[in-house]
Chain A
Amino acid sequence: MSGEELVIDVRGVTKRFSGRAVVNDIAMQVRRGEIYGFLGPNGSGKTTFLRMLCGLLTPDAGEGVCLGFDFRTESAEIKKHVGYMTQRFSFYEDLSIEENLDFVARIYGIPRRKEAVNRSLETLGLVPRRRQLAGVLSGGWKQRLALAACLIHEPRLLLLDEPTAGVDPKARRDFWQEIHRLAAEGLTVLITTHYMDEAERCHRLAYIAYGNLLARGTVAEVVRSAQLTTYEVTGPNLWELAAKLRGAAGIEQVVAFGTTLHVSGRDAAAMDESIAPWRVGGWQWQPVASGLEDVFISLMDRAKDNFS
């Protein structure tokens, strides 16, 4: 990892709210031009972490650099080169699309402002609706406006907090196309998401739960590190089978996928013992590769045992 330029390089980042560590001793390294996925269950501290990176919250502990600036003391500099898209739409609903973009362009002091705003409206495909108030836009369009506004000052780092929540599949695909194009040009992207397909589109991932970092690396690395064994079961009365398997020794997850059942656990020996009685009776057991979702749920269950 040396040799390469690290856009984010922080260690020991901790944030407490009334004594409770919401982000606990987290380290993160993100390289230039990388799309870095940041995943974790609700309330795990993702938004809090992003806010600390761009100076919106003061960390209780931690050190490191973001875009070459000390993230604790030089947030004013960092803000000039970061595009932060908040989880909740936070542009002005009583300003039109164009006025919002124009406001952002003024704040960042963009040269040839009108041109930049027009260019942004065109890429968005919002030229005919430029005078519409942002408040009347549908959820998906708001997201697109927010992304356009984050990009207008040509930031070097994008922090996107669930940018595709509630966006339709086509728009989501376009969005990821755009993100990959920007990343290829050298923009670094740190993005939080709850969608597994999006996680798989990231170059690398980090997974946190209850403020603790549980896994990181490429998708393959994360899956491998979890050491999870998964079976796909087909056959009759899967629902009844699922009820009987749940809670058996070594079996951690039993999830229905249409006409199949996914059964997984970390302790392969214990699992085999538990499922032995059900190998007969018309059920077919097929070992399959564990999916990212199985891995994350397993990680989360383990985290629950450890931290709460």
Chain B
Amino acid sequence: MSRHAFNLRRFWAIVVKEFIQMRRDRLTFAMMVGIPLIQLILFGYAINADPKHLPTAVLSADNSIFSRTLVWALQNSDYFHIVRQSGSEEEIRTLLARGNVQFVVHIPEDFSRRLLRGEQPSLLLEADATDPMATGYALSALDTLVNSAFDRDLIGPLSRLRVRPGPVELRTHRHYNPENITQYNIVPGLMGVVLTMTMVIITALAITRERERGTMENLLSTPVHPGEVMIGKIIPYILVGYIQVTLILAAARFLFHVPMMGSLPLLLGVILLFISATLTVGITFSTATRNQLQAVQMAFFFFLPNILLSGFMFPFRGMPSWAQWIGEALPLTHFLRIARGILLKGNGPREIAPELWPIALFMVLMLTIGIKRYRQTLD
């Protein structure tokens, strides 16, 4: 097999063939351009991970300046939209159960009295937490809100009450995206997600298709080398990947006004590594599948942990440690950090280096498995 080394001519034959086939397969091509567009619109416009103006009911048993201040503060924040201020316990409970309100704030009878005595009165907040994402931000905002609201009223002789620390400050100061615009976070991440999804499926299909259509038998009977086939099949899809990246970056810039703090060439360079790593997954999958349906199923299996555990959907630090371990093994996790770092923080090569080598390692591992498993016979 040593005399039968990689041959550029044969490699080029595969590249040319793949390009022609890709051009003929209009549907797949349209999908590869369509998927990033659809996802951009879905994630960019429709999905908002930080919902505001959540319907809220306030039940106040204490008619004092302090309770009015609280209502006023809630009303003035973007998060709460007070839809009810009175009603029986029963009525309010129904509202919550039906989802007409997301929150119910109970102000107890002795609220102002205990506040003035410095007894740290309790506020009962009931939240419809079926969707934790929807309430998370609002809840953390409330904490700050309540404590600062009274600062205005607790003056003069009452100012001594302000000294005592209120409930713990949960809300974190937001660097880089102080306005907390979801799109800034989502759009760079989307680039990685779209690449992961399309690249894995498409390469897995490209090789499985040869087996399913029987053309593999012909290909294997020629002197072509597995490496020539694999790399020859990858090249056209790297190009497709860059088309997708261009689309997404253009949308990021012109539709969502995502800042581009760092170097674009650096980002494009990292993307080459990331696309290659993703393509090796597709190739390895194709060695294990018998038909195109299986290939697509496997690609989705891979896609799931990627989208859930990479920090795209949920904050990475909020995951249990076992999930973080899985996340660390995925190239998407590291790519997301790099892409967000370059775009939003203006990171340079030095800052992204620790995220580069895991992607490279992943690629080498996958490629080794892929070439080892690639059957040069029909056995």
CB-defined A-B contacts under 8 Å, sample of 17: A51-B378, A55-B220, A56-B217, A56-B377, A57-B379, A58-B377, A79-B222, A82-B221, A84-B218, A86-B218, A91-B215, A92-B215, A95-B20, A106-B12, A108-B223, A109-B9, A133-B24
Complex interface residues of chain A between 239 and 291 (CB less than 8 A to chain B) = none
Q: How far is the CB of B8 from chain A (nearest CB, A)?
A: 10
Contact of A95 with B221 at beta-carbon distance under 8 Å, contacts A76-B3, A76-B4, A107-B13 already known:
no
Q: Is the CB–CB distance between A106 and B217 below 8 Å?
A: no
A103 touches B (CB below 8 Å): yes
* Distance of A88 Cα from B4 Cα, bound (Å): 28
Q: Is the CB–CB distance between B3 and A95 below 8 Å?
A: no
Question: Contact check: which of A86, A92, A106 meets B9 at CB < 8 Å?
Answer: A106
Chain A residues packing against B (C-beta within 8 Å): 51, 54-58, 76-77, 79-80, 82, 84, 86, 88-95, 99, 103-104, 106-109, 133
- Enumerate chain B residues within 8 angstroms of A103, measured Cβ to Cβ: 13, 16-17
Q: Is the CB–CB distance between A107 and B20 below 8 Å?
A: no
Q: How far is the CB of B202 from chain A (nearest CB, A)?
A: 15
Number of chain B residues whose Cβ lies closer than 8 Å to a Cβ of chain A: 29
Question: Contact check: which of B10, B20, B214 meets A106 at CB < 8 Å?
Answer: B10
B1 touches A (CB below 8 Å): yes
Question: Contact check: which of B9, B213, B215, B220 meets A56 at CB < 8 Å?
Answer: B220
B25 touches A (CB below 8 Å): yes
* Distance of A58 Cα from B375 Cα, bound (Å): 11
Q: How far is the CB of B28 from chain A (nearest CB, A)?
A: 11
Closest residue of chain B to A79, judged by CB?
Answer: B223
- Enumerate chain B residues within 8 angstroms of A99, measured Cβ to Cβ: 17, 20
- Enumerate chain A residues within 8 angstroms of B16, measured Cβ to Cβ: 103, 106
Q: Is the CB–CB distance between A90 and B3 below 8 Å?
A: no
* Distance of A304 Cα from B1 Cα, bound (Å): 41
Q: How far is the CB of A107 from chain B (nearest CB, A)?
A: 5
Q: How far is the CB of B25 from chain A (nearest CB, A)?
A: 7
Q: How far is the CB of B183 from chain A (nearest CB, A)?
A: 39
Q: Is the CB–CB distance between A56 and B378 below 8 Å?
A: yes
B57 touches A (CB below 8 Å): no
Question: Contact check: which of B223, B224, B378 meets A57 at CB < 8 Å?
Answer: B378
Q: How far is the CB of B235 from chain A (nearest CB, A)?
A: 15
- Enumerate chain A residues within 8 angstroms of B213, measured Cβ to Cβ: 90, 93
Q: How far is the CB of A80 from chain B (nearest CB, A)?
A: 5
- Enumerate chain A residues within 8 angstroms of B224, measured Cβ to Cβ: 107
Chain A contact residues: helix, strand, loop or mixed:
loop
Question: Contact check: which of A79, A92, A133 meets B221 at CB < 8 Å?
Answer: A79
Q: How far is the CB of A99 from chain B (nearest CB, A)?
A: 6
5 new A-B contacts, CB < 8 A, other than A56-B378, A94-B21, A109-B10, are A57-B377, A89-B214, A91-B218, A95-B17, A107-B224
Question: Contact check: which of B222, B376, B378 meets A108 at CB < 8 Å?
Answer: B222
Report which residue of A57, A58, A80, A90 has the largest number of chain B beta carbons within 10 angstroms of its beta carbon.
A90
- Enumerate chain B residues within 8 angstroms of A55, measured Cβ to Cβ: 220-221, 376-377
- Enumerate chain B residues within 8 angstroms of A77, measured Cβ to Cβ: 3-4
- Enumerate chain B residues within 8 angstroms of A94, measured Cβ to Cβ: 20-21, 24-25
Which 8 residue pairs spanning A and B have beta carbons closest together? A106-B13, A90-B218, A76-B4, A84-B221, A90-B214, A79-B223, A94-B24, A107-B13
- Enumerate chain A residues within 8 angstroms of B7, measured Cβ to Cβ: 109
Render B217-254 as a binary contact track against A, CB cut-off 8 A, 1 for contact: 11011111000000000000000000000000000000
* Distance of A104 Cα from B221 Cα, bound (Å): 11
- Enumerate chain A residues within 8 angstroms of B221, measured Cβ to Cβ: 54-56, 79, 82, 84, 86
* Distance of A104 Cα from B3 Cα, bound (Å): 21
* Distance of A57 Cα from B13 Cα, bound (Å): 24
Closest residue of chain B to A15, judged by CB?
Answer: B379
* Distance of A235 Cα from B377 Cα, bound (Å): 56
- Enumerate chain B residues within 8 angstroms of A92, measured Cβ to Cβ: 17, 21, 215
Q: How far is the CB of B361 from chain A (nearest CB, A)?
A: 31
Q: How far is the CB of B101 from chain A (nearest CB, A)?
A: 58
Q: How far is the CB of B24 from chain A (nearest CB, A)?
A: 5
Closest residue of chain B to A88, judged by CB?
Answer: B214
Q: How far is the CB of B377 from chain A (nearest CB, A)?
A: 6
Q: Is the CB–CB distance between B21 and A95 below 8 Å?
A: yes
Closest residue of chain B to A110, judged by CB?
Answer: B9
Closest residue of chain A to B1, judged by CB?
Answer: A76
Q: Is the CB–CB distance between A80 and B17 below 8 Å?
A: no
- Enumerate chain B residues within 8 angstroms of A106, measured Cβ to Cβ: 9-10, 12-13, 16
Q: Is the CB–CB distance between A86 and B222 below 8 Å?
A: no
